[in-house]
Chains A and B, each alone.
Chain A
Amino acid sequence: MRTLRPRGTTLAIVAVDPSSRESGGALLGDRIRVRSGSADPGVLIRSMAARDRLGGLADGTRAAVVILAAAYDRVFVETVGVGQSEIAVAALVDTLVYVVNPGTGDLLQFMKAGILEAPDIFVVNKSDLGADAARTAGELESGLALGGRQDEAAPPPVLLASARDATGIDALAAALDAHRQALLEGDGLRERRRRGREGFVLETLELRYGSFGLDAIGGPSALRARIREDAAATAFALIATLGREIEAALRKPRAR
């Protein structure tokens, strides 16, 4: 915020916090940490509770992001935190940043969690801790050097930053710009949004009807192809159409 606002860039922040499984309530405390946001019309912060969604996002997150992206220059999505296989957010954003605290894991844990594969930028926060932060950055770099990513030739940057001392933020802003530029120059942005749209439609359908439901109208691969072909429809329209198809198929007796 302190870096982008002086440039005149408007921004929206969608901050997702966990819900209590038992009460359904949630404490959304992100505004406390962001000073002076609400007095600036160029900044919007919306806190959301994850409710019962897995994947680190809330139900309405995608809808919120789509709307906000039309009104603000940049939209930031902060998730509950990503554990194993909880990277639904990757299907939602153009640039995925993974922020890790020093000492929160070694190389093996990073690899096990599968988080080395998706993010476009890695940031080790609390660089003010010195050696610990540098070691964590080193672990990430050696993990990325092992390969297994599509962009093996140009591995994603690993940055050090400190929210406390406000250091490394400019470098992060520059990395975000560079990634965006790269996406715009090639076919990257369109490709990414296409994949995101597919992922979102499939995930929502699966949440509603289960894998049984997806299989009833041809299974995930066939569906993916259909979604790709129907490029003009919005994700929400596709969900409605395909949902009706699934419901119809499930009502029919299954052929043996």
Chain B
Amino acid sequence: MTKPRTAERDRPWVIRTYSGHSSAEASNALYRSNLEKGQTGLSVAFDLPTQTGFDADHPLARGEVGKVGVPIGHVEDLAALFEGIPLDRMNTSMTINATAAWLLALYVAVAERNGIDPGSLQGTTQNDIIKEYLSRGTYIFPPGPSLRLISDMVAYTVDALPRWNPVNICSYHLQEAGATPVQEIAYAMATALAVLDAVRARDDVPSEALPRIVGRISFFLNAGIRFVEEICKVRAMAELWDGLTRERYGVEDAKLRRFRYGVQVNSLGLTEAQPENNVIRIALETLGVTFSKKARCRALQLPAWNEALGLPRPWDQQWSLRIQQILAYETDLLEYADLFDGSHVVEARTRDLREAAREEMEQVLAMGGAVAAVENAFMKQRLVASHTQRTRAIESGELTVVGVNAYTESEPSPLTAGATNVLRVDESAERDQIERLAAFRSRRNAVEVAAALQNLKDVVQDGGNVMPPSIRAAHAGVTTGEWSDALRSLFGEYRAPTGVVARKLDASGPRTQEVRGRVHALSERLGRPLKILVGKPGLDGHSNGAEQIAVKARDVGMEVVYEGIRLTPDEIARSARDEGVHVIGLSILSGSHGVLVIDVLDRLRKLGLDDVPVVVGGIIPESDAEALRRAGVRRVYTPKDFDLTRILSDVVDVVSESAPGE
């Protein structure tokens, strides 16, 4: 009998943690300590102003600077972020999309300043704009120009940075947005084809370069708790990708057809209730993307057990890092050939997923591909539908979530005792960043900055590649907001369709009916139907929660003004006045609830609308929730409030309490 064990252990995947906060200096210290603890790559989290192309002193950036990631305003910030880290020997992944070309330009400029050949740079820019429209919300430009920026980067890096992954096609966020495995595979593939088709159509890309370009396309996946299905999912993706790249792009070299992907293990599936259970969830989910050697990830980052409570501390991230190290170095996983080859069960499930996904993908291609399916909201509507179904299954108990809708009794947890079980971003981070930005602006050469910006606009307008003038602008001291504004002036800004409006009515369930009856009765007392404003202040683009609430509110008979994302507190207050709403629902997941919600309350007071009740939902630690309630917020909902019907019923109570003539 032959031994199935391989002669040597396989090399483990790149071990990293998605991190960054407050400032370049603070994040640099965190990265260095993570590398000392055995991390083998870096994964940079940028703050929302950096991701959406605003300088720290822009009104929309208020409250968001340094919150969900590190603020990078210019070349000196990026230099500080990588201080003492050898760029030519580091593997750096950047979660950056709309401003990806700019952040890569800054990275190249910092390398050049340090005398490092850009050709040696290794890493990934996420740069998948399709999923931003569908789920994550940090887009800036319309789909056409966005795709053009991506294809510019692909065309540029293939020769100038041959070890860089210019785009990381994300199915991660599709799963977060509610995608079934089939949808996840299909839409990720359709997105990859949209990018490659756009690159192939360019005059400046010789056909001989196409196979190498295909070989640089990588993917970014989620790993959910149904880990057996996840194993089949990644195997199905590998098989599909191999076939598609051969048929569509004629790639003969099997190595260049390999399905390369990195993973962030599912964060939104982590629970706020009994949060210690999340460690077990994370470990099991990790198996889905590491078990099968054939379809093993290239890089892995794990969330921390307490992410549903707030920002994780260094110790929380270390705990997750150790999960990876135990799996890679302590277990015998890396000693074996593929464990599932020849398994009838795995192969049958893989085949089913592959074929169903292929069908779904063909449907998207038939309507003109991924970009068309964003513009006509097809994909968004499918995702909202699956997500709604999932939420309902949890509400009804059909889907078990331990500690949430089953087995909820618990001993007091020593892990969550005390107020300091999450990281607090120092409130001075924003002020400090704005001061540093002002100082930087005053010492740069204004003439060079203006010339570099003009050059950027000229080149982009003439159809030239965005990268060389962006690198020049990085050296000249252009800021993130200025670079983005230059392109905004050429491309305009985009608002994506939401997929909400077309959702079918859910009339099922006696609980929905019961709340509907209460809404109708209250509407009669009010003299007109209960009207609610749902909106997201700040830059956080994760709109799924707000959309679910909007749909449910409509289902229980409310008139819902859904205002979407990226609103200033002033805009929200004025809309509330113009629309004459009875209640305002705000959703914030970025942790900037403190500043933004208080701002909305202030503006409402100035407009004489203090009698309009405000409710807030988001990732809000209890101590913050208490502060918000003291400031006048009527209710605060957190991820443990998963029952939408109950939330809406509660909103009826809130309006009823505030309505005159009780």
Contact = CB atoms under 8 A, between A and B. Distances in A.
Interface of A: 17, 19-20, 22-29, 31-33, 35, 38-39, 44-47, 49, 51, 164, 166
Interface in B544-601: 550-551, 553-564, 567-568, 570-572, 574-575, 578-580
Contacts of B578: 38, 44-46
B562 A32 contact: yes
A39 B577 CA distance: 12
Contacts of A25: 519, 529, 553-560
A32 B564 contact: yes
B522 interface: no
Nearest to A17: B501
A49 B556 contact: no
A19 B558 CA distance: 10
Nearest to A165: B492
B560 A23 contact: no
Contact of A24 (B529, B562, B572): B529
B505 A29 contact: no
Nearest to A47: B561
Nearest to B515: A23
Contact of A27 (B493, B560, B574): B560
9 contacts: A22-B507, A24-B519, A26-B560, A27-B554, A27-B562, A28-B560, A31-B563, A35-B493, A38-B578
Contacts of A46: 578-580
Interface in B461-519: 492-493, 495, 498, 500-501, 503, 505, 507, 516, 519
A20 B495 contact: no
A25 B501 CA distance: 12
Nearest to B572: A38
A26 B559 contact: yes
B563 A32 contact: yes
A23 B557 contact: yes
Given A23-B554, A47-B561, A32 B498 contact: yes
A235 to B, nearest CB: 20
Nearest to B143: A164
B500 A27 contact: yes
**Candidate in A35, A38, A51 with the most chain B CB atoms within 10 angstroms:** A38
Given A29-B501, A32-B564, A46-B579, A23 B555 contact: yes
Contacts of B556: 23, 25
B313 interface: no
B142 interface: yes
Given A28-B560, A164-B142, A39 B579 contact: no
Contacts of B520: 24
B505 A39 contact: no
Contacts of A31: 561-564, 575
Contacts of A45: 575, 578-579
B559 A28 contact: yes
Q: Closest 5 interchain pairs by CB?
A: A32-B564, A25-B554, A38-B571, A38-B574, A25-B557
Nearest to B59: A39
A175 B563 CA distance: 31
Nearest to B564: A32
**Candidate in A23, A24, A33 with the most chain B CB atoms within 10 angstroms:** A23
Contacts of A17: 501
**Candidate in A19, A22, A27 with the most chain B CB atoms within 10 angstroms:** A27
A212 B500 CA distance: 42
Contact of B562 (A29, A44, A166): A29
Nearest to A31: B563
Contacts of B505: 20, 22-23
Contacts of B498: 29, 32
**Candidate in A19, A47, A49, A164 with the most chain B CB atoms within 10 angstroms:** A47
B379 to A, nearest CB: 17
A164 B520 CA distance: 39
Contacts of A51: 529
A27 B520 CA distance: 16
A20 B559 CA distance: 10
B652 to A, nearest CB: 12
A26 B571 contact: no
A228 to B, nearest CB: 32
A164 B494 CA distance: 9
B507 A23 contact: yes
B543 to A, nearest CB: 10
Nearest to B570: A39
**Candidate in A26, A35, A164 with the most chain B CB atoms within 10 angstroms:** A26
Contacts of B519: 24-25
**Candidate in B498, B500, B559, B570 with the most chain A CB atoms within 10 angstroms:** B559
Interface in B514-550: 516, 519-520, 523, 529, 550
Contact of A28 (B507, B562, B571): B562
Contacts of A23: 505, 507, 516, 554-557
Contacts of B516: 23-24
A188 to B, nearest CB: 31
Contacts of B560: 25-28
A69 to B, nearest CB: 16
A49 B562 contact: no
B495 A32 contact: yes
A126 B498 CA distance: 19
Contact of B579 (A26, A27, A32, A47): A47
Contacts of A29: 498, 500-501, 562, 564
A33 B561 contact: no
Nearest to B492: A166
Contacts of A19: 559
A105 to B, nearest CB: 18
Contacts of A49: 529, 559
Given A31-B564, A49-B529, A39 B495 contact: no
Nearest to A164: B142
A13 B617 CA distance: 30
A22 B516 CA distance: 10
A51 B531 CA distance: 13
Nearest to A26: B559
A90 B557 CA distance: 29
A13 to B, nearest CB: 10
B82 to A, nearest CB: 36
A1 to B, nearest CB: 14
B378 to A, nearest CB: 16
Contacts of A26: 529, 554, 559-560
A52 B516 CA distance: 17
Given A39-B574, A47-B561, 6 more contacts: A22-B507, A24-B520, A26-B529, A27-B500, A27-B550, A44-B578
Contacts of A20: 505, 554-555, 557
Contacts of B559: 19, 25-26, 28, 49
A165 to B, nearest CB: 8
A149 B142 CA distance: 41
A17 B498 CA distance: 15
B23 to A, nearest CB: 30
Contacts of A22: 505, 507
Contacts of B567: 38
Contacts of B523: 24
Contact of B495 (A24, A35, A44, A166): A35
A9 to B, nearest CB: 18
A38 B575 contact: yes
B373 to A, nearest CB: 16
A149 to B, nearest CB: 34
A23 B564 CA distance: 23
A49 B530 CA distance: 11
Nearest to B535: A31
B12 to A, nearest CB: 45
A31 B554 CA distance: 16
A29 B580 CA distance: 15
